[in-house]
Amino acid sequence: MSGVRARATRGLLATAAALLVTLTTACAGVSSHAAGVPDGGRRLADVAPVDDPRAVTGPSTAVVVDAAVRPVTQDPAPALPVTLTDAQGTSVTVTDVSRVLALDVYGTLSRTVFELGLGDAVVGRDVSSGFAEIADRPLVTAGGHDLSAEAILDLAPTVVLTDTTLGPWDVVLQVRDAGIPVVVVDAHRDLQGVGGLVRQVAAALGVPDAGEQLAQRTQAEVDATTAQIAAVAPADPADRLRVMFLYARGQAGVYYLFGEGSGADSLVEALGAVDVAGEIGWQGMRPLNDEGLVAAAPDVILMMSDGLASVGGVDGLLERLPAVASTPAGQHRRVVDMADSQVLSFGPATADVLDALAVALYAPEQS
């Protein structure tokens, strides 16, 4: 990727991240992340894919096989102090990781801390951190995805890891002004950035070796899963599923199509499908319109589970967005949903997310 293109992509991802936190904060009332992340699904390797995935009818839910944390080490030994320059260019020195807060809109940072073997040091959570191992930690987000300065300071963290997907930003500055080291990591999320995010978190906590181990494990799992998916996806591009990622919050009347640079595009491509938003030149996250929806002609609409529930399921989606009925996805009621905190998290469990989505796309009756 050229330098110009890379900067353009980073810009799109930054815009997408900023917009996503605005949308999720404004519509946080429908969130059910605290209920936990569902698991118990089946692996792609253990199911029989359908002959023609474009002929499938009816909705399906992508469910990971096992949502449990798998630390790369049980006894990490942080090498402290650590002085680093974070994603915003701020020099930060971390001297103590005994009380950690890791906060972002998907719960990815907290999951990464647990996978690094430092879960016992985590003292609180954001609403998106729904995995079982963190469920007993107090929330530090109020009204959905709004950071609470009082809740954070009451926990007396020795370090806070965050990005720009949560706000208000004044809270982050207040925490930093209180003398607590705040490390801001990259908010850009896509399939190519998973390893880099893991390494950033590990470096800030003084466990770079564990970070490298986790990054390599995650990449190896992603590579193996994408190879499995490639083996079952149609070889002819003309036969591949045409997929659109739709973000919805029905109570607020919010409907956004996620396009190039949103992260959803890299997910769809890894699933051996055609990202129809990119095909029609849809950049980042933009409000859906009927013309764009019909022009995209998706075979499958991919959604967050809370978003689908907020519109009343597939029936509600077709009622609220009549243009959906004009697409192959609407005609076949072909909607695939997945837990909000998983589908675009791009963290250590990325391979499991891809595997679950592939089962929902290519062997939906067995998902």
Query: For 136-160, what is the mean pLDDT?
Result: 93
294 vs 98, higher pLDDT: 98
pTM (predicted TM-score): 0.90
Q: Which of 167, 152, 179, 212 is nearest to 94 (CA)?
A: 179
283 φ, ψ (degrees, to nearest 5): -105, 130
Cis peptide, bond prior to residue 78, ω within 30 of zero: no
Query: For 207-221, what is the mean pLDDT?
Result: 98
Distance from the Cα of residue 234 to its chain's centroid: 26
Is 100:121 a contact under the CB 8 Å cutoff?
Answer: yes
Lowest mean pLDDT among 29-43, 46-60, 107-121: 29-43
Confidence of residue 206 (pLDDT cuts 50, 70, 90): very high
Q: How confident is the model at residue 23, as a pLDDT? A: 55
Q: What is the pLDDT of residues 228-238, one digit of tens each?
A: 999 999 999 99
DSSP class of residue 336 equals E
Lowest mean pLDDT among 19-28, 175-184, 317-326: 19-28
**Strands 100-103 and 159-162, sheet pairing:** parallel
CATH class of the domain at 82-216: alpha beta
Instruction: Kindly list the domain boundaries of the chain, sorted by start residue.
Output: 19-32+42-68+221-366, 82-216
Query: What residue type is 337 in one-letter code?
Result: D
Query: For 126-139, what is the mean pLDDT?
Result: 94
Percent of the chain with pLDDT over 90: 77
Q: Cα(285)–Cα(288) distance, rounded to whole angstroms?
A: 9
Third-level CATH fold of 19-32+42-68+221-366: Rossmann fold (3.40.50)
Q: How confident is the model at residue 288, as a pLDDT? A: 85
Confidence of residue 188 (pLDDT cuts 50, 70, 90): confident
Q: Exposure string (b/e) for 58-76, b if CB count within 10 Å is 16 or more? A: ebbbbbbbebebebbeeeb
Report residue 289 as tokens.
């319109």
Q: What is the pLDDT of residues 56-106, one digit of tens each?
A: 999 999 999 999 999 999 999 999 999 999 999 999 999 999 999 999 998
Q: How confident is the model at residue 260, as a pLDDT? A: 81
Q: How confident is the model at residue 320, as a pLDDT? A: 94
User: Average pLDDT over the chain, rounded to whole?
Assistant: 90
Report residue 4 as tokens.
């110009």
- Between CA 148 and CA 157, with CA 152 as vertex, the angle to 5 degrees is 160
Is 82:94 a contact under the CB 8 Å cutoff?
Answer: yes
Is 241:267 a contact under the CB 8 Å cutoff?
Answer: no
Is 270:229 a contact under the CB 8 Å cutoff?
Answer: yes
Lowest mean pLDDT among 29-43, 130-144, 347-361: 29-43
Q: How confident is the model at residue 360, as a pLDDT? A: 98
Query: For 251-280, what is the mean pLDDT?
Result: 90
DSSP class of residue 182 equals E
- Between CA 207 and CA 355, with CA 190 as vertex, the angle to 5 degrees is 90
